[in-house]
Amino acid sequence: MAGLLLPARLLFVQYVSDDWFGSAGVISIISISVIILAKKQKLGVFGKMLERQIYKFQKGKRGILIFGESIFLLIILGAMIVAIEQGNSVYSEHKIQNHAKLPSKSSVLQQTEEWKVDDWLNGFFITPVVFVTSFPQMSAVIASIDQEMDGWLLHFYTGIN
């Protein structure tokens, strides 16, 4: 499915619109169409494999784990998509201030090159707290990282979501 959905998203963003909401709609339409075609047995062997996997995931303890993980990822990745969007629009002044504080010819990602293991661990554990307590600043930082990655972060968050 990723081999189908990611290129569809990239083509949509390249030729139609940069808006994440529209590409999420395209991904939803493609996903639902593939599932409907699989149920109507129009996809041959791939359809049978997909149906088997869906049936396996829906039943038993594994299904509960899969649905729990899916809900968790939807919340996390959805929050990141909203943060990037807010950082580029509502909190853009924070993003501009962050870039002004960086040394010349430096970027947000280059700042992490000199981090040690302790810095990475602290960042990993403090990020969820900062995301909730200081959303405008965190949103600006995530939007800056997405900008430095030429929008690929948002592409993957939307594609996975």
Alpha helices in 40-134 (DSSP H): 44-58, 60-88, 92-101, 117-133
pTM over 0.85: no
Tell me what pLDDT residue 71 has. 92
Tell me what pLDDT residue 157 has. 79
Structure tokens at 35: 């599932």
User: Per-residue confidence of the chain (161 residues) as pLDDT tens digits?
Assistant: 778 888 887 888 778 877 767 777 888 889 899 989 988 989 889 889 888 888 877 777 778 888 888 899 899 888 899 999 998 888 888 888 777 777 666 666 777 788 889 988 998 898 889 888 989 988 988 888 888 888 888 877 776 55
Tell me what pLDDT residue 96 has. 80
Contact 13, 155 (CB under 8 A): yes
Axis-axis angle for helices 117-133, 135-148 (nearest 10): 120
How far is residue 153's CA from residue 23's CA, in Å, rounded to a whole number? 14
Tell me what pLDDT residue 160 has. 59
| Alpha-carbon distances of 99 from 15, 93, 106, 120, 137, rounded to whole Å | 30, 10, 9, 21, 12
Rg (CA), the chain: 19
How far is residue 78's CA from residue 72's CA, in Å, rounded to a whole number? 10
How far is residue 86's CA from residue 48's CA, in Å, rounded to a whole number? 41
